Amino acid sequence: MAIIYNDYINGTGNGPTWHVKIRPPSRIVRTYYRETATAAELLWDKKQGKIHVCLSGGMDSEYALSVILSLGMDAIPVILRTKYNAHDIRYAFKFCENNNLSPIVIDLDFDYFVKSGQFLDIATKTNCAAYQYIATMWLTNLIGGTVVTGETDPHLYLGSDGKWYVDEIEPVFCHLKYYEMQGIYAMPYMIRHTPEQFLAFLLEPTIKKLVNNEIPGKTGSYSSKVHVYNNQVKFKIEDRKKQNGYEVVETSPIFQHPDMQLVKSWKDKFWGSSDFEYNYLVNTLLAGNIAEGTNGQN
């Protein structure tokens, strides 16, 4: 199973040289739910062993699991628990309870994880400047079978020039490097696994309203994606505040550990953003051409 379908989205370089190319769909795009269902069907056809979905408490991973379940497929939720993330994973436990699911819960002593050097080892191997991603990578190496993570949907922001952009940031791609390095059988991009799915998200009615400035006060897509996810009749995702799971860590002594501060300092080296003006991206992909990002405005 390909980590990304036909490698349709590809990033190269680091930091200021980070550059992303996106290949177009090969057929007519359907609704975002239908395209996500197709990704789930690809997952089911290519799975090895049981499907394990890393459920973080965020909307992305909950949407991925909800689509799988809506198709009558079996999947086991996996929840990473630390002393710092109760505020986040309460949504994951609530989802499991509401859907009569028995999750695998893996406890991590996060302070030891950092102090032991494991945190820095993974960050160094993947050039990952996003300290929020390291523990998730560690988790996926413990699971076996077929691993699914929500990762992130296409993110849009309102630029200083008044235009809307889709940004593809370098840290998100660190997961792919880690799975390949560790030989983890996974679909980490399940909510945008195919080029059809990627474009379907951008064509959703809520996203179109956003880029047409029909939703006053919005400068990004984080608070709007729940409406994209809920534009189907199979299930409803509970809206919640955007969190990274590290709100408590960032106010705790462990955040001052030299290894965490070192990874945080890598942002200039390993946090490139390759950005696509929305209309250019959509029109290019609809025309069947490859879209190329520019140096980010973020």
At 242 the pLDDT is 72
Residue 231 DSSP code:
S
Averaged pLDDT score across all residues of the chain: 94
Which positions of the chain have pLDDT values less than 50?
298
| Cα angle: 278, vertex 40, 46; to 5 degrees | 120
d(CA 113, CA 267) in angstroms, rounded, equals 21
Provide the pLDDT for residue 297: 53
Say what the pLDDT of residue 298 is.
45
For residue 24, give the DSSP letter: P
Contact 118, 126 (CB under 8 A): no
d(CA 147, CA 274): 27
Radius of gyration of the chain (CA): 18
Predicted local distance difference test score (pLDDT) of residue 296: 75
What is the rounded CA–CA span in Å between residue 167 and residue 20?
10
The tokens for 17 are 């040289």
Please tell me whether residue 39 adopts helix, strand or coil conformation: helix
5-233+247-295 classified as CATH 3.40.50: yes
Q: Is the pTM of this model over 0.85?
A: yes
The SS3 call for residue 110 is helix
- Nearest-angstrom CA–CA distance, 79 and 54: 6
Q: What per-residue confidence (pLDDT) applies to 1?
A: 75
Nearest to 28 by CA among 192, 153, 200: 200
Is there a contact between 10 and 21 (Cβ–Cβ < 8 Å)? yes
